[in-house]
Structure 1
């Protein structure tokens, strides 16, 4: 029995994790067995902890991107197929990765043709970032990071404009036309996964369409490598203990304080994610740019103990990012009489992409 495989790419902050969560919930309601694969340069992902609440089976591939650890990616696929007997797998590659058609889609088409039914390569894009790049800007990113965003769109079979709730209907139609005119190869969708608007349209097409990895794009790996290297990359997990702490308020304060520090230094933010969870509740917050991009949902309630996972991707050195995050968390813990116990922290700058495979032709 073949398994449907949906790969959902897109730059940091585009909304991939929310899309995976809501898609998994819909599919499970339809009686499907769903597997989810997350991906990062380091372990301890907010995305993994968050998606484990979807009801689907979740596997994390960490330490390298899918393209540079293709065998690790396919091991995860095999595990979900054999151990969990899933009907559909949705995979979320690292947000700063591109060249996925050549390094993931084509190898999968050739080596897993008897096991998988591949869906078109979907690339998500934040509308504000998209509009600025279409207008010739960089959306506040380093030019090499903006290059990655453009290349992700160049290779997409499907382009999904996310967070449509921030746009008027007229503005959305104008933006969709610009995208269609610029990337004529791609089918264009628009949705708000959080509000469940347009999600069914994309998901139904992704489950049925067979036009997969239809084209490749030229990628300058020197620019690509620089675009990833400008980002400091931090994953941190800490245990928190206090007395009758409002964990929702604490999560908001962490994101607000970090946003204030980054904005004051005019540092571009790929994303900052904070998840605070107790035994049966959680609150999750996201920062995808300046302070006004901050969003928070869920509730961890009021209690004495919690675990916090924090992921940050910011255009600064890993050392400076680690120092900044530690200072902010320590200050807020002290102000709120919270004892923190570090469980893990990893901070790095991604190395040069070195794909396991890179096809120079489209597999038929």
Structure 2
């Protein structure tokens, strides 16, 4: 499985100046290549490299391999844009957003991340330094630091490209690591996880991870965002960008903590993890206007991703099951009815009288569906018919 490890660079003032000049040169080159690719309709790697490789080297002062990486960066950007358009992430073909995205060349910020391969960047893990190509020549002995567990993974499993990133005057390298996947043990049972807005996650064991703190923090951020947007100044715009990043990091930290605890329990008890398959929920659910912002900023997808990769890394079985009626179905008698859930927090079966918190009942239903799905997956092929 692939993981990314982020380490912080500790360059001197001269090294930082060279790194910044390198980022700016590479992104100017990428912007030029993207414009030519758009105008001439050449967006494949071989064609674009044949067309612009020599010109990029001479015009922007790049060496051979950095010029190749710039061309690949542009090709990947156009491929990502095409994939977003096909998936409908840019809206309908008649929307303003779609027309703007598809009718203009891809643009690159002056300090956008730049990929480096092993020919441009080498790691000296024992000395905790890197040697990196810059427009001022090869720069050696650039120190880096990071969390102990991340550095261990980096030392053992780093493979492929690394991205040079600058954020708020600080420098980072994001490296790709290929970690061998452990064998997934046959689970003795499953932990069903129901994800929600009021309660971020509720397990079939009854453990509840409330989202009240996150909702209050986001409401406070929304008020501050409104105040800054009314000012309409450059400093307010910069503060808005910093606050957005801080809010995202806060939600990510909470999702990491919740997923780590759930995976730890599953690994210790020999069980698997099951979640609802919630793809396309924004297209299926129609909410009131005052609820739309909450749903759009709901980090349920990220929580599912964290659970999936942490479970894979720990050798824990992970399943996604059908999400339909998990909060309306009685796990004891199977009766399904909207009236079984009289309000958001409570469940009461109209047939057998089973009652309890609705999120806990949903988690139990997710667990039961995972049991059936796993039994089908592990069943011999000749026995499924």
- Give the TM-score, by structure 2 length: 0.24
TM-score (norm 1): 0.25
Higher strand share: 1
Greater fraction helix: 2
Structure with more contact order per residue of length (Cα contacts < 8 Å, sep ≥ 6): 1
Q: Answer with 1 or 2: which has the greater Rg.
A: 2
